[in-house]
Amino acid sequence: MIRCCVFCDLGIPTENNHGPARDSTTEFRFSSSPTMEDIRRLQAQFTAERDWNQFHQPRNLLLALVGEVGEVAELFQWKGEVAEGLPGWTPSQREALSHELSDVLIYLLELAEKCHVDLPQAALAKMELNAKKYPAGRVQGSAKKYTEYSTEDGEQGH
Ligand SMILES: Nc1ccn([C@H]2C[C@H](O)[C@@H](COP(=O)(O)OP(=O)(O)OP(=O)(O)O)O2)c(=O)n1
Protein backbone atom coordinates (compact mmCIF):
# COMPACT_ATOMS: atom_id res chain seq x y z
CA MET A 1 0.00 0.00 0.00
CA ILE A 2 1.36 3.44 -0.98
CA ARG A 3 1.51 5.75 2.08
CA CYS A 4 0.72 9.41 1.45
CA CYS A 5 1.15 11.06 4.85
CA VAL A 6 0.23 10.70 8.50
CA PHE A 7 -2.95 12.69 7.91
CA CYS A 8 -4.11 10.32 5.17
CA ASP A 9 -3.26 7.33 7.40
CA LEU A 10 -5.60 8.80 10.01
CA GLY A 11 -8.26 9.67 7.44
CA ILE A 12 -7.87 13.42 8.00
CA PRO A 13 -8.28 15.52 4.82
CA THR A 14 -5.98 18.57 4.55
CA GLU A 15 -5.56 21.33 2.00
CA ASN A 16 -2.26 19.75 0.92
CA ASN A 17 -3.46 16.24 0.25
CA HIS A 18 -7.08 16.76 -0.76
CA GLY A 19 -7.39 20.20 -2.36
CA PRO A 20 -8.95 23.32 -0.82
CA ALA A 21 -10.76 22.56 2.43
CA ARG A 22 -13.34 25.32 1.96
CA ASP A 23 -15.14 27.41 -0.61
CA SER A 24 -13.69 30.90 -0.29
CA THR A 25 -16.87 32.55 -1.62
CA THR A 26 -18.97 31.49 1.38
CA GLU A 27 -19.01 32.90 4.91
CA PHE A 28 -15.87 31.96 6.83
CA ARG A 29 -16.05 28.75 8.79
CA PHE A 30 -13.63 26.06 9.90
CA SER A 31 -13.13 22.77 8.10
CA SER A 32 -15.00 19.91 9.76
CA SER A 33 -11.74 18.04 10.33
CA PRO A 34 -9.42 17.48 12.00
CA THR A 35 -11.35 17.37 15.26
CA MET A 36 -9.86 18.36 18.62
CA GLU A 37 -9.42 14.66 19.34
CA ASP A 38 -7.53 14.20 16.03
CA ILE A 39 -5.14 17.02 16.97
CA ARG A 40 -4.74 15.67 20.51
CA ARG A 41 -3.85 12.26 19.08
CA LEU A 42 -1.38 13.63 16.51
CA GLN A 43 0.39 15.76 19.12
CA ALA A 44 0.50 12.77 21.54
CA GLN A 45 2.15 10.76 18.76
CA PHE A 46 4.61 13.62 17.98
CA THR A 47 5.54 13.89 21.66
CA ALA A 48 5.91 10.14 22.25
CA GLU A 49 8.03 9.64 19.10
CA ARG A 50 10.55 12.15 20.51
CA ASP A 51 10.49 10.92 24.12
CA TRP A 52 9.27 14.39 25.09
CA ASN A 53 6.59 13.39 27.59
CA GLN A 54 9.30 13.82 30.24
CA PHE A 55 9.14 17.59 29.44
CA HIS A 56 5.43 17.92 28.71
CA GLN A 57 4.05 18.16 32.22
CA PRO A 58 1.08 20.49 32.81
CA ARG A 59 3.11 23.43 34.15
CA ASN A 60 5.59 23.30 31.26
CA LEU A 61 2.76 23.07 28.75
CA LEU A 62 1.08 26.07 30.36
CA LEU A 63 4.32 28.08 30.06
CA ALA A 64 4.72 26.99 26.43
CA LEU A 65 1.10 28.00 25.76
CA VAL A 66 1.57 31.44 27.30
CA GLY A 67 4.77 31.88 25.26
CA GLU A 68 2.90 31.12 22.05
CA VAL A 69 0.08 33.52 23.01
CA GLY A 70 2.84 36.14 23.36
CA GLU A 71 3.99 35.33 19.83
CA VAL A 72 0.43 35.91 18.56
CA ALA A 73 0.35 39.24 20.41
CA GLU A 74 3.64 40.22 18.82
CA LEU A 75 2.06 39.95 15.36
CA PHE A 76 -0.65 42.46 16.35
CA GLN A 77 1.43 44.84 18.40
CA TRP A 78 1.72 48.48 17.23
CA LYS A 79 -0.78 47.90 14.43
CA GLY A 80 -3.75 49.56 16.10
CA GLU A 81 -7.22 48.00 15.78
CA VAL A 82 -7.51 45.48 12.96
CA ALA A 83 -10.74 44.73 11.07
CA GLU A 84 -12.20 41.24 10.65
CA GLY A 85 -10.45 39.30 7.89
CA LEU A 86 -7.24 41.30 8.47
CA PRO A 87 -7.44 43.48 5.34
CA GLY A 88 -4.00 44.74 4.31
CA TRP A 89 -2.11 41.87 5.94
CA THR A 90 0.40 40.23 3.61
CA PRO A 91 0.30 36.49 2.86
CA SER A 92 3.41 35.99 4.99
CA GLN A 93 1.86 37.86 7.94
CA ARG A 94 -1.26 35.68 7.60
CA GLU A 95 0.87 32.56 7.47
CA ALA A 96 2.80 33.63 10.57
CA LEU A 97 -0.52 34.16 12.39
CA SER A 98 -1.85 30.75 11.35
CA HIS A 99 1.36 29.15 12.66
CA GLU A 100 1.25 30.92 16.01
CA LEU A 101 -2.48 30.34 16.56
CA SER A 102 -1.89 26.67 15.75
CA ASP A 103 0.92 26.49 18.33
CA VAL A 104 -1.50 27.94 20.90
CA LEU A 105 -4.15 25.36 19.99
CA ILE A 106 -1.72 22.44 20.04
CA TYR A 107 -0.35 23.33 23.48
CA LEU A 108 -3.86 24.09 24.81
CA LEU A 109 -5.14 20.68 23.71
CA GLU A 110 -2.12 18.87 25.16
CA LEU A 111 -2.46 20.81 28.42
CA ALA A 112 -6.13 19.80 28.61
CA GLU A 113 -5.18 16.17 27.88
CA LYS A 114 -2.50 16.10 30.56
CA CYS A 115 -4.97 17.65 33.04
CA HIS A 116 -7.64 15.10 31.99
CA VAL A 117 -10.04 17.82 30.84
CA ASP A 118 -12.25 16.59 27.98
CA LEU A 119 -12.01 19.95 26.23
CA PRO A 120 -14.72 19.67 23.52
CA GLN A 121 -17.29 18.66 26.14
CA ALA A 122 -15.96 21.14 28.70
CA ALA A 123 -16.17 24.00 26.18
CA LEU A 124 -19.74 23.08 25.30
CA ALA A 125 -20.73 22.93 28.97
CA LYS A 126 -19.02 26.28 29.61
CA MET A 127 -20.88 27.88 26.70
CA GLU A 128 -24.16 26.70 28.22
CA LEU A 129 -23.14 28.38 31.48
CA ASN A 130 -22.17 31.54 29.59
CA ALA A 131 -25.60 31.66 27.92
CA LYS A 132 -27.29 31.45 31.33
CA LYS A 133 -25.00 34.11 32.81
CA TYR A 134 -25.55 36.45 29.86
CA PRO A 135 -29.17 36.00 28.68
CA ALA A 136 -29.35 37.50 25.18
CA GLY A 137 -32.50 39.46 25.94
CA ARG A 138 -30.97 41.13 28.99
CA VAL A 139 -27.45 41.98 27.85
CA GLN A 140 -28.25 42.88 24.22
CA GLY A 141 -25.63 45.28 22.84
CA SER A 142 -23.80 45.68 26.15
CA ALA A 143 -20.30 44.40 26.87
CA LYS A 144 -20.65 44.78 30.65
CA LYS A 145 -19.34 41.93 32.85
CA TYR A 146 -22.10 39.91 34.53
CA THR A 147 -21.00 41.21 37.93
CA GLU A 148 -21.87 44.75 36.75
CA TYR A 149 -25.57 43.94 36.25
CA SER A 150 -27.57 45.14 39.23
CA THR A 151 -30.76 43.58 40.53
CA GLU A 152 -32.59 46.54 38.87
CA ASP A 153 -31.48 45.12 35.51
CA GLY A 154 -33.32 41.97 36.55
CA GLU A 155 -30.11 39.94 36.89
CA GLN A 156 -28.41 39.12 40.17
CA GLY A 157 -24.65 39.75 40.07
CA HIS A 158 -22.56 36.96 41.62
N1 LIG B 1 9.33 20.73 23.24
C2 LIG B 1 8.48 20.99 22.22
C3 LIG B 1 8.86 21.85 21.18
C4 LIG B 1 7.97 22.08 20.15
N5 LIG B 1 6.76 21.47 20.14
C6 LIG B 1 5.81 21.71 19.07
C7 LIG B 1 4.49 22.28 19.55
C8 LIG B 1 4.37 23.65 18.90
O9 LIG B 1 3.35 23.58 17.89
C10 LIG B 1 5.69 23.90 18.21
C11 LIG B 1 6.52 24.91 18.96
O12 LIG B 1 7.80 24.94 18.38
P13 LIG B 1 8.87 26.05 18.80
O14 LIG B 1 9.10 26.02 20.27
O15 LIG B 1 10.05 25.86 17.91
O16 LIG B 1 8.13 27.44 18.54
P17 LIG B 1 7.74 28.14 17.16
O18 LIG B 1 7.36 27.11 16.14
O19 LIG B 1 6.75 29.20 17.52
O20 LIG B 1 9.12 28.77 16.67
P21 LIG B 1 9.59 30.28 16.92
O22 LIG B 1 9.62 30.45 18.41
O23 LIG B 1 10.95 30.34 16.27
O24 LIG B 1 8.56 31.15 16.26
O25 LIG B 1 6.35 22.62 18.15
C26 LIG B 1 6.42 20.60 21.16
O27 LIG B 1 5.35 20.03 21.16
N28 LIG B 1 7.29 20.39 22.19
Q: Is the ipTM of this complex over 0.85?
A: yes
Close Cβ partners of 120 (under 8 Å, ≥ 6 residues apart): 35, 36, 37
Summarize pLDDT for 52-94 with one digit per residue, the tens: 999 999 999 999 999 999 999 999 999 999 999 999 999 999 9
> Which pTM does this prediction carry?
0.83
- Would the CB of 48 count as within 6 Å of ligand 1? no
Residue 66: CA atoms inside 13 Å, Cβ hemisphere, count? 5
- Pocket test residue of 103, 107, 114 for ligand 1, highest count of atoms within 8 A of CB: 103
pLDDT tens for residues 50-63? 999 999 999 999 99
**Relative to the CA of 110, which ligand 1 atom is closest?**
27
Span from the CA of 3 to the centroid of ligand 1 (angstroms) = 26
Q: Whose CA is nearest to atom 9 of ligand 1?
A: 103
Distances (CA, A) of 123 to 66, 78, 105: 19, 32, 14
Whether residue 41 contacts residue 10, with contact meaning beta carbons closer than 8 Å, is answered with: yes
How remote is the CA of residue 90 from the centroid of ligand 1, in Å? 23
Choose the weakest-confidence range: 4-8, 46-50, 135-139. Answer: 4-8
User: 155: Cβ below 6 Å to ligand 1?
Assistant: no
Residue 76 near ligand 1, beta carbon < 6 Å: no
Task: Confirm or reject: Cβ of 44 under 6 Å from ligand 1.
Answer: no
Verify whether ligand 1 is closer than 6 Å to residue 45 (CB atom).
Answer: no
